[in-house]
Structure 1
Amino acid sequence: MSTPDTPRFPRGLYGVTPDWADTDRLLAAIELAHAGGMTALQWRRKHGAPAGLRVQAQAVRDLCLRLGLALIINDDWRLAADLDADGAHLGLEDGSIAQARLALGAGKLIGCSCYDRPELAARRLREGADYIAFGAMYPSSVKPDAVRATLDHVRDGRRLAEGRAADGPAGEIRHPRAAVVAIGGITPGNAAPVIRAGADSIAVISALFEADDIRAAAQRCTALFDAAPP
């Protein structure tokens, strides 16, 4: 049964794919991360020919369906709709939640980058985001110039998400609530304070997929959530 504190987005490790052209390598890595407890995956590719990218995205979708793993498509809600993915992640330049919701449908997940801006998170929640993402929490090798968020931003986001659940549109009570995601430079060794601050999910790229033992890295992240109250 959902409660006011139950998030709509899966709690736990949220893997974000590296920019690998080798699809077989990527699929094998996803399986290892899932075996270690990863609860959701974001497919994120910034480089490559459109036809090749779509082939890889479809292969990832097929694997996630087999694994029962929630798949979010980064940036491209149109592709997410075409693949019947579980949702899309939107940055500032990726269109509106209203556009994405119309294309994806009411049952899909829409997440939004909120950087270090709680006021943006509040607006995205009013627009119907299923999760709000803050970061970079730590220096990021993937985005070295990214703005830096703090634990206070995560705490603020959690309060906003819980408040929005209690006071939805026109006073409607919304269960479950939107989730709070933290991203940027997160590793199994530095994630615990982020989770204690209120992150429902930690989005991890390099510390997961570039790890010597992907399954073990996922297990270490998952154990942090097992040890922390929801």
Structure 2
Amino acid sequence: MKHPAIHGLYAITDPALIRDRQLLPAAEAALRGGARLLQYRDKTATPAQRRHRAAQLQALCRQHDALFLVNDDPALAADIDADGVHIGQSDGGIARARRLLGPGKIIGVTCHSDLALAEQAAAAGADYVAFGRFFPSRTKPLAPPADPVILDQARQQLTIPLVAIGGINSDNGGQLLERGADALAVIHALFSAPAPDQVERAAQQLSALFNAV
């Protein structure tokens, strides 16, 4: 089934860009600017810090009627009753995440540029699959590149939403939407902005791409 909520600007936090006290203001600015999904991604904080920050971000997303997902940690997502989790190919698998989260939560899966992985994820119960990187990425510069044509192929083969990631900004994101992406996952083009008002403006520009398709 196509999950109707997986659509729009998908903001992903990065501790290298957003320091502790900047996290909530930056996230709220992205939500004010139109982000419909927010993923908490932080591989450096302690478990206690991660839980505290995730709970704060979830409360913020609920205020803005946006979905909140946790990166790579279904146990934390279950603990704070997040809307879902995003997992990679080495994060324990969809079945484990589903056991921890239950049937009503969202599970997204990274599939790089591999349509076979996406088909397997969909068959295993993923709610969306993510492809990328489509453009040079500052967050993951060594990630394998993906050709936008994979979105055309996936749109023909899959009924679940497609998320595009990797170096996306307001100049290049439109072409991915035209090829069938349902959501654009963005890190640097949002959170490299030095002040919340600039984050909000960047989110507005990215969100406007969805109105043009």
Asked whether the equivalents of residues 132 and 157 of structure 1 are also in contact (C-alpha less than 8 Å), the reply is no
* Alignment of 1:12 onto 2:8: yes
Aligned counterpart for 2:98 among listed residues 98, 101, 108: 101
Asked whether the equivalents of residues 31 and 61 of structure 2 are also in contact (C-alpha less than 8 Å), the reply is no
Structure 1 position 160, deviation (Å): 2.0
TM-score normalized by the length of structure 1: 0.86
Gaps of 5+ in 1: 163-177
Aligned to 1:115, the other structure's residue is in SS state: coil
For residues 48 and 129 of structure 1, the distance between their equivalents in structure 2, rounded to whole angstroms, comes to: 27
Aligned counterpart for 2:192 among listed residues 210, 223, 226: 210
Aligned counterpart for 1:223 among listed residues 172, 187, 208: 208
TM-score normalized by the length of structure 2: 0.93
Asked whether the equivalents of residues 6 and 128 of structure 2 are also in contact (C-alpha less than 8 Å), the reply is no
Structure 1 segment 1-230 matched on structure 2, within 5 A: 7-19=3-15, 22-162=19-159, 178-212=160-194, 213-228=198-213
Cα distance per residue 1:177-229 (max 9 Å; x no partner):
x110000110111111111111000000010111251111111111111110x
**Structure 1 residue runs of 4 or more that deviate by more than 6 Å after TM superposition:** none
| Paired residue type of 2:30 | A
For residues 61 and 208 of structure 2, the distance between their equivalents in structure 1, rounded to whole angstroms, comes to: 22
For residues 92 and 10 of structure 1, the distance between their equivalents in structure 2, rounded to whole angstroms, comes to: 20
Aligned to 2:143, the other structure's residue is in SS state: coil
| Paired residue type of 2:178 | R
Identity of aligned residues (%): 42
Q: Which has the larger radius of gyration?
A: 1
Cα distance per residue 1:43-79 (max 9 Å; x no partner):
0001122222222112112222222220010000010
Asked whether the equivalents of residues 9 and 179 of structure 1 are also in contact (C-alpha less than 8 Å), the reply is no
CA RMSD of aligned residues (A): 1.5
Aligned to 2:149, the other structure's residue is in SS state: helix
Structure 1 position 83, deviation (Å): 0.8
